[in-house]
Amino acid sequence: MSEAKPPADSSVDPSVGDRHIHSRAGNPVPEPRVASMFDSIAPVYDRMNTIMTAGLDGRWRRAAVRATRVTAGGSAVDLACGTGKLTAALAVAVGPNGRVVGVDLSTAMLEEARRAFGDLAQIEFVAGNALALPFEANVFDAATIAFGLRNLASFADGFREMARVVRPGGRVVCLELTTPRPKILGRFYTGVFGRMAPLVGRAFGRREAYAYLPHSLDGFPSAEELAGTMRGVGLANVKVRRLALGAVALHTGEVPQNL
Ligand SMILES: C[S@@+](CC[C@H](N)C(=O)[O-])C[C@H]1O[C@@H](n2cnc3c(N)ncnc32)[C@H](O)[C@@H]1O
């Protein structure tokens, strides 16, 4: 009997032995729809985030900044920057002589970011696609993406683009939701997130967009698979740290000299 072949765009989770689970290689929702959903939730995004993460997101972002190892006078690009919270934390780390650029598809999210952090001289917010960054190669000390990767049409291309714009020896950092282990905790979490996000969305009058969020995790690669994707695009010293009882993963990789 011939073995069933995985779909061309899938990867295999090595952590599940011979029970192969095939994950998506990217978000199937078209970019214009993703952008318009984030446009619609931009004014309430930060408040909803605080509710849904019980205020822990600040701690996770600080861990992401530390993982970049940027220091005063350094530089970073923050992909899918949204309302700019991680971008701003990076700006504090590089100080007034550094440079941080936040890039996002959604003009409304960028407006919120500019309103909150536009007065910091070392920050710039630009409209753009994480998969086609408007920068030369090797220009930043670090690239970050927080809760944005799962929205991209190709996760590998997202990491490839981050690695392209970071200088050799610099860091690529990804903060993203993941399915917690053990499996029972994962099921509980998926159930709670799947029900809670649309309910909170309805309370804020943004039902459609917040129904999208839990679905964007369906078939999303495990933390181990994502680490494999990073290695696959040539990143070195790839490491994963689990936060929030394993519900959030912080991935870090280094751009090698010869990428
Ligand atoms: C869940 S929000 C995360 C925002 C922010 N990074 C944070 O930590 O709160 C996801 C963001 O990704 C942006 N986004 C989605 N696809 C994108 C793409 N292809 N390029 C740039 N930004 C994108 C959305 O507009 C949205 O602002």
Rounded distance between C-alpha atoms, residue 200 and residue 54, angstroms: 13
Q: How confident is the model at residue 1 (pLDDT cuts 50, 70, 90)?
A: very low
Rounded distance between C-alpha atoms, residue 148 and residue 144, angstroms: 10
Which of 151, 175, 193, 210 to mutate to test ligand 1, by most ligand atoms within 8 A of the CB atom? Answer: 151
Per the CB < 8 A criterion, the answer to whether 210 and 38 are in contact is no
Domain residue spans of the chain: 25-179+222-254
> How many beta carbons lie within 10 A of that of residue 66, not counting itself?
14
Across all residues in the chain, what is the average pLDDT?
A: 86
192, containing H or E segment = helix 183-203
**The pLDDT of residue 85 is above 70:** yes
**The pLDDT of residue 17 is above 50:** no
Share of the chain above pLDDT 90, in %: 66
User: Which residue type sits at 191?
Assistant: G
Residue of 42, 29, 55 whose CA lies nearest to 220: 29
pLDDT (0 to 100) of residue 8: 34
Pairing mode of beta strands 11-12, 22-23: antiparallel
**Any idea which of 66-75, 141-150, 215-224 has the lowest mean pLDDT?**
215-224
Ligand 1 atom at shortest distance from the alpha carbon of 39: 25
pLDDT (0 to 100) of residue 142: 98
- What are the backbone angles phi and psi of residue 254, rounded to the nearest 5°? -115, 140
pLDDT (0 to 100) of residue 113: 98
Quick: pLDDT tens for 155-205: 999 999 999 999 999 999 999 988 876 665 566 566 666 666 666 666 666
Which of 45, 105, 154, 161 to mutate to test ligand 1, by most ligand atoms within 8 A of the CB atom? Answer: 105
pLDDT (0 to 100) of residue 134: 97
Mean pLDDT of 127-131: 98
Residue owning the nearest CA to atom 4 of ligand 1:
82
Q: How confident is the model at residue 53 (pLDDT cuts 50, 70, 90)?
A: confident
Mean pLDDT of 10-19: 36
Q: How confident is the model at residue 6 (pLDDT cuts 50, 70, 90)?
A: very low
In Å, how far are 12, 16, 201 from 19, measured between CA atoms?
9, 6, 35
Beta bridge partners of 75: 99
Rounded distance between C-alpha atoms, residue 26 and residue 10, angstroms: 9
> How many beta carbons lie within 10 A of that of residue 53, not counting itself?
17
User: What separation in Å is there between the alpha carbon of 79 and the centre of ligand 1?
Assistant: 7
Rounded distance between C-alpha atoms, residue 133 and residue 10, angstroms: 25
Rounded distance between C-alpha atoms, residue 93 and residue 100, angstroms: 10
Residue of 16, 17, 26 whose CA lies nearest to 226: 26
pLDDT (0 to 100) of residue 20: 41
CB burial readout 152-165, b (16+ within 10 A) else e:
bbbbbbbbbbbbbb
- Options 3.40.50.150, 3.60.150.10, 2.60.40.10, 3.40.630.30; CATH for 25-179+222-254 is 3.40.50.150
Q: How confident is the model at residue 13 (pLDDT cuts 50, 70, 90)?
A: very low
User: What separation in Å is there between the alpha carbon of 81 and the centre of ligand 1?
Assistant: 6
256, containing H or E segment = none
- 187 versus 59: which is more confidently predicted? 59
Dihedral angle computed from the Cα positions of residues 127, 62, 243 and 214, in that order, rounded to the nearest 10 degrees? -30
Quick: pLDDT tens for 24-45: 999 999 999 999 999 999 999 8
